[in-house]
Structure 1
Amino acid sequence: MNASELREKSVDQLKDELANLKKESFNLRFQLATNQLENPARMRDVKRDTARVLTILNEKAAAAAADAE
Structure 2
Amino acid sequence: MLGLLINDIEQKEVEYLLKRELEELLMDLEDHRIDHLVKRAMRERYRILFQLFRRVASEQECLKYMPKRTKNE
TM bin (shorter chain): 0.5 to 0.7
> 1:29-48 alignment to 2 at 5 Å?
29-35=26-32, 36=34, 38=38, 39=41, 40-48=43-51
Partners in 2 of 1:18 and 1:47 — Cα distance?
A: 10
TM superposition shift of 1:3: 6.4
Partners in 2 of 1:48 and 1:15 — Cα distance?
A: 16
Among candidates 6, 10, 16, match of residue 13 of structure 2: 16
Give the AA of the match of 1:4: G
Query: Paired residues, what number?
Result: 52
Q: CA RMSD in A?
A: 2.1
Gaps of 5+ in 1: 56-69
**Percent identity among equivalent residues?**
19
Q: Which moved more, 1:43-52 or 1:28-37?
A: 28-37
- In structure 2, the partner of 1:51 is 54
Q: Which has the higher contact order (CA 8 A, sep 6+)?
A: 1
Larger Rg: 1
Instruction: Tell me the TM-score normalised to structure 1 length.
Output: 0.64
Change (3 A) 1:49 1:3: farther
Instruction: Tell me the TM-score normalised to structure 2 length.
Output: 0.61
